[in-house]
Amino acid sequence: MNSRMTQRYIKELQDWRAELNRSIRNENGWLALAGLFWVEEGDHSIGRSPNCDFVLHSAEAPEGLGVLTRRGQTVSFEAGRGVTVEINGHPLKQAELTADTDPDPDFLTYNDLRFVLIKRGSRIGLRYWDNSRKERVAFPDRSWYPVQPEYRLPAQFRQAEAARTIQIPDVLGDSTEETVLGEIQFEFEGTRFSLHALEAGEGRALVLFGDETNGRGTYPGGRFLVVDLADGEQVWLDFNRAYNPPCAFTPYATCPLPPPVNRLPVEIAAGERYISNPDPA
């Protein structure tokens, strides 16, 4: 990479990192995430009152927002007396809710608060955002290793010839079965490695990987890396673009973790560092 190409590469990478830093501060972004409640069978009151089953620690919340009811895999919501809650932008008093696993999930909103059901394995949860949270501004900027062009490695993408799946664990101790898009093979410090890649849409692959820096400078659970597949088998594995999962910024995310096959026995001292443990307060 000549001097002009290196300067352009560094500028593009710095712009990309700056955009990632902005994105976590967006409305309904990860730093606006304010809580996660696991919904068991039965009725659950929601609101700012300490007497509620699900207490909303937000000045934006009414004393009693409403009641969430679970019957098997069906969850419905009924707004509290005198409280106007919107569901997908329309004022409603009562409705059955679809979760985030549905192509068109239902979102509840009340002022700066936003809610959605999530399904993780057999669990059903209620996730909520508070867009007035100070963390959207106060949380430290993302921290990065210096840009190192030598960590942009040539690699080969080998698409899976037949349907293959892999178990992807998550921070809850559950796992989901995901389709393997293919393998990305590369050489690092004289050793050949292979990483399983998942579909990321728009001609891209997602790699969940771990390495020997995890817990010693980078996020303990591993990092994410998106690979452009536009050039077919010959691709670039750019570890300068390795970034942290949402769990690095909030205790209310339910992040996937790298499968054992994607844990590299080497140090990848490039990409995003880990700032600190997220503060749930």
CA distance 14 to 11: 5
CATH code, residues 30-137: 2.60.200.20
Q: How much is the mean pLDDT over the chain?
A: 94
pLDDT at 275 over 60: yes
pLDDT at position 161 is 86
203-218 tens-digit pLDDT = 999 999 999 999 999 9
What percent of the chain has pLDDT above 90? Answer: 89
Strands (E), the chain: 33-38, 42-47, 54-55, 66-71, 74-79, 85-87, 90-92, 94-97, 107-110, 113-120, 123-130, 152-159, 165-169, 175-188, 191-201, 204-209, 223-228, 234-238
What residue spans define the domains of the chain?
30-137, 140-262
